[in-house]
């Protein structure tokens, strides 16, 4: 329980791109509406002087907009300086890089803070257009398949080091697409219901045969990153099935990629009679403001639990291990082509 309705908001990584583009506009708006007491930006040079920089006995929200490798050390610093009472910790993705690293990160966090004080951000959960999928009445029976597709027109935009270490699977599927799938299948934002859905999801084909799992790379990517042997995927499409009785026999496809013809994110419900229901998930500038406000009031339905993190990596574990040991079956696609072509379906 937070003791003070107007906490101090402390942001680690204050000079980063995420902070400048999204966080500061959101938090300054909340400050102007008197929803927070004050904003305290923190840089690495401040780590040894936090008690002088962050004063007062009120509640504190620490937002860690920093590289994942720095998170464990910063959590320890926060704990050593401020304990745990009256604190909330906001974490940005990625939450680990595979199942093993995610398990280690969860265990490390647990040493310093309980789960109910950790707020793992996926801003897609704060999108009103995703909430509309749950609020709108639509036929949830006689469904043959569900496709969740996020197509981007931009390429990696010079983020060579980040993308070579990450790729589309870690960057978008493990977080945004899997969480959207959990919300749609659960028919709810409730964390426990999402967790149960994720436990039921799995890839059932042989991932080595490039049937229900596809990866691709846009033409020219290897020159862009100056790595002629790069197998980093800029496109991925995976097919999942659920063991939940209500969703047995329903195909679930999650696809995303860069440098395609169009920018869109959509959820396509296909029925056995050939009809479709499409939900467009929009870009919403106010999503981060809703994320921070949800942290203030303790609304955990907009955040990812440790169980969800581990289940999402469990789902993708076989894919990651297979791709690590093989460069086969990498689809090379032209910039500006349709994502449906890479997916192998008619657009």
- pLDDT, one tens digit per residue, over 1-33 is 455 569 999 999 988 889 999 999 999 999 999
What was the pLDDT predicted at 1?
A: 45
What was the pLDDT predicted at 346?
A: 52
Q: Which residues of the chain fall short of a pLDDT of 50?
A: 1, 347
What's the rounded Cα separation, in Å, for the pair 343 and 267?
Answer: 15
For residue 136, tell me if it sits in a domain: yes
For residue 66, tell me if it sits in a domain: yes
What's the rounded Cα separation, in Å, for the pair 261 and 181?
Answer: 24
- Residues 323 and 280 grouped into a single domain: yes
For residue 102, tell me if it sits in a domain: no
What was the pLDDT predicted at 209?
A: 76
Instruction: Tell me which of 71, 92, 113 is where a domain ends.
Output: 92
- Residues 151 and 68 grouped into a single domain: no
Query: Sheet harboring 303-304: ordered strands across?
Result: 38-42, 8-12, 60-64, 87-91, 118-121, 303-304
DSSP state of 126: G
- Residues 183 and 308 grouped into a single domain: yes
Give the structural domain span for 202.
124-343
Cα→Cα distances 80→14, 58, 76, Å: 21, 17, 6
For residue 178, tell me if it sits in a domain: yes
Question: Could you tell me the pTM of the whole model?
Answer: 0.94
For residue 118, tell me if it sits in a domain: no
Write down the number of H helices and E strands in the chain: 13, 14
Domain count, the chain: 2
- Residues 57 and 183 grouped into a single domain: no
């Amino acid at each position: 329980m937070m003791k003070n309705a107007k906490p101090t908001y402390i942001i680690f990584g204050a000079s980063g791109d995420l902070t400048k583009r999204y966080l500061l506009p959101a938090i300054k708006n909340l400050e102007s509406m008197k929803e927070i007491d004050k904003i305290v930006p923190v840089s690495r040079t401040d780590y040894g002087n936090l008690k002088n920089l962050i004063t007062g006995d009120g509640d504190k929200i620490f937002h860690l907009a920093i590289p994942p490798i720095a998170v464990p050390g910063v959590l320890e610093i926060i704990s050593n300086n401020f304990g745990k009472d009256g604190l909330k910790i906001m974490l940005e993705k990625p939450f680990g890089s595979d199942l093993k690293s995610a398990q280690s990160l969860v265990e490390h966090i647990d040493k310093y803070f309980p789960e109910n004080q950790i707020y793992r951000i996926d801003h897609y959960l704060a999108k009103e257009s995703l909430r509309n999928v749950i609020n709108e009445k639509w036929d949830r029976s006689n469904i043959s398949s569900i496709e969740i597709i996020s197509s981007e027109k931009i390429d990696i935009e010079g983020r060579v080091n980040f993308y070579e270490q990450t790729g589309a699977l870690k960057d978008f599927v493990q977080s945004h697409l899997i969480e959207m799938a959990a919300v749609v299948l659960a028919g709810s934002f409730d964390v426990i219901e999402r967790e149960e859905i994720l436990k039921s999801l799995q890839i059932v084909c042989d991932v080595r045969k490039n049937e229900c799992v596809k990866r691709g790379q846009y033409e020219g990517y290897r020159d862009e990153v100056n790595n002629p042997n790069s197998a980093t995927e800029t496109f991925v499409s995976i097919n999942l099935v659920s063991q939940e009785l209500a969703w047995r026999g329903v195909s679930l496809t999650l696809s995303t990629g860069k440098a395609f013809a169009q920018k869109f994110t959509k959820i396509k419900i296909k029925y056995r009679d050939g009809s479709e229901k499409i939900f467009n998930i929009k870009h919403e500038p106010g999503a981060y403001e809703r994320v921070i406000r949800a942290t203030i009031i303790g609304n955990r339905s907009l955040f990812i639990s440790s169980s969800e993190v581990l289940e999402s990596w469990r789902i993708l574990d076989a894919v990651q291990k297979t791709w690590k040991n093989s460069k086969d079956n990498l689809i090379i696609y032209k910039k500006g082509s349709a994502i449906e072509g890479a997916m192998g379906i008619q657009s």
